[in-house]
Structure 1
Amino acid sequence: MFRGAERMKKFILIMVLSIISILLVACGGSDDKTSSEKENAEDKTYVVGVDNTYPPFEFEADGELVGIDIDLINAIAEDQGFKIKIEQMDFSGIIPSMQAGELDIGMGGMSITDERKETVDFSDPYFEAGISLVIADNNTEINSLEDLAGKRVVIKNGTVSAKFAEENKDKYNYEIVQVNDSTSMFQEVTNGTVDALMEDYPVISYAIAVSDLKFKIVGDRLTGDNYGISVLKGKNDELLEMIDKGLTNLKENGKYDEILNEYLD
């Protein structure tokens, strides 16, 4: 009886030690997997979709793509140790391209909205924008939304401005003209084929300041939007975490202000 009891105690002890070893290996494997996933996220090259007709956030100068968004995502990638590849397209195609698996990151002065949040996850806000009403500088008839009755307003497809214009056209009784890029939108006003345009405040302010556009902004900003960097909803948590961390670091070390000042001062 005594020897049997001793053997049983040894057997139980061995079983307990075996179970503990298995648990420790399992926990260690989980940590290794998490570490491996983060390393893979850092090593991968991420494709970033932008609209190259959106100065000062993205535009071409001397054959080179530049702007706030371009400098910002490059600085974030450098800070966090991952690589990026820039793809240029119409703004309205950025989110669909993310859904099709062709892009990892969407930018282009993308306003954070509840509607877009159904499809993408956003970083922390990185710029306060808002929509402005813009007319030719010799136009004396339009000073507010109320003056748009019977007028034609041009907007760019897929933008917050387009959504705002659609939601308010019946209220203010204007007609909407849709185009796919900022250059076409500006040309409509210049040619006099439309009476006004709606565009993000920093974009149109920059365009008026650095070009020969004969435009002026009327009234206060129509909305108060914030720009964010987007990834496909629920699919790129590690990447979004790195983007937010990089953005925080850039704001703390002064690089963020340096980028903005280069284009907005």
Structure 2
Amino acid sequence: MFKKLGVLLIIGLLVLVACGEEDQEPIESEEAASEETEQEEIGDHLLSEIQEAGEITVATSGTLIAASFYDDDDELTGYDVEVMKEIGERLGLDVQFEVMGIDSMLPAINSGRVDVAINDIEATDSRREQFNFSEPYKYSYSTMVVRESDYSGIHSLEDLEGKRAGGGATTIYSQIAEHFGAEVVTYGNASNEAYLSDVSNEQTDVVVNDYYLSTFGVAAFPDFDIMIHPDLKFHPTEQAIAMPEGEDELTEAINETLDEMREDGTLSELAINFYEEDASTEPEGEIEEIEGLDL
């Protein structure tokens, strides 16, 4: 009798435990749904704020020849700048540029100092975990600026080991240089001339950077002992506009505008105007992928 009673009590407890677990599931589900709703409300309001203000604040460097720079009339221009101006016009917004170093741009988005950033920024997997990105407005790949007289002793990516590479502290290009053993020398928001003159006078050995930007940088200083490395094409890239994480409405609005600009030829026209090539389309030819690079 006591044995039967013990069995019944155990069964009863198991039933209670099972019922308790079933009763808790709807409560947990409701809490999760509530948290998701709150996150959506917190993280997707920037577009309406921008529209209400009638302007969008954009971080850029003003020191990147062909992408973001000051012309002879001291006007901010470049492919990236004009792409952003066109987006603003089509969305009915004034575009206010905040000039800053590349290393400050993504933190400025997080702090709310700026709404978006455009400065030849590569949309890597790790960055996508922290920010929203538009569709690419530019496709390119990486190359090196080296001394014309001696190639800076670099004939392969592996030859970067032990070299001094000029670059921004947080750029993908500096990560590539470090990946192959180079020492990165940082400059802040310096002009192209500072980076390239240091390669020429052997203060540094190399600048790893975007193909289009490097080509125009070298052409701007014909008296320097520098050139684009003729044999090295690596790390294909996609440049996009960076925005705060979760701002999907703003991302969609910018993407729709970029699609319009691509379809009506505006993106190609702007790219050819500044780069003399259509950087809005993917480059042809074989471009080396870098294995083991965590970006």
Q: Which bracket does the TM-score occupy, shorter chain normalised? A: 0.7 to 0.9
1:95 Cα shift? Answer: 0.4
**Contact residue 41 and residue 238 of structure 1 kept, 8 A:** no
**Contact residue 43 and residue 83 of structure 1 kept, 8 A:** no
Q: Partners of 1:196 and 1:162 in 2: how far apart?
A: 11
> Is the alpha carbon distance of 1:156 and 1:183 closer, same or farther for their aligned partners in structure 2, counting shifts above 3 Å?
farther
Within-5 A mapping of 1:54-69: 54-62=64-72, 63-69=74-80
2:170 to 158, 161, 168: 158
The aligned counterpart of 1:134 is 145
The aligned counterpart of 1:200 is 210
1:224 to 230, 236, 261: 236
1:42 to 42, 48, 51: 51
The aligned counterpart of 1:96 is 107
Which letter does structure 2 place at the counterpart of 1:49? Answer: A
Aligned length: 225
Q: Partners of 1:228 and 1:64 in 2: how far apart?
A: 23
2:261 to 227, 246, 250: 250
Q: Partners of 1:105 and 1:149 in 2: how far apart?
A: 35
Q: Partners of 2:266 and 2:197 in 1: how far apart?
A: 35
CA displacement 1:58-89 (0-9 Å, x = unmatched): 00112111100111011111112222211100
Q: Partners of 1:154 and 1:92 in 2: how far apart?
A: 14
CA displacement 1:28-67 (0-9 Å, x = unmatched): xxxxxxxx99765434311000011112110011211110
TM-score by length of 1: 0.78
Q: Partners of 1:39 and 1:167 in 2: how far apart?
A: 42
Q: Spell out structure 1 runs of 4+ moving beyond 4 A.
A: 36-41
1:51 to 58, 61, 67: 61
Structure 2 portions without partners, runs of 5+: 1-44, 277-295
Q: Partners of 2:63 and 2:132 in 1: how far apart?
A: 24
Which letter does structure 1 place at the counterpart of 2:169? Answer: N
TM-score by length of 2: 0.71
Which has the larger share of helix? 1
Structure 1 portions without partners, runs of 5+: 1-35
Q: Partners of 1:90 and 1:138 in 2: how far apart?
A: 31
Q: Does 1:178 align with 2:189?
A: no
Q: Partners of 1:112 and 1:186 in 2: how far apart?
A: 25
Please give the secondary structure, in 2, of the residue aligned with 1:206: helix
User: Which region of structure 1 is more displaced relative to structure 2, 118-127 or 204-213?
Assistant: 204-213
Q: CA RMSD in A?
A: 2.0
> Is the alpha carbon distance of 1:64 and 1:38 closer, same or farther for their aligned partners in structure 2, counting shifts above 3 Å?
closer
Q: Does 1:239 align with 2:250?
A: yes
Q: Partners of 1:204 and 1:37 in 2: how far apart?
A: 35
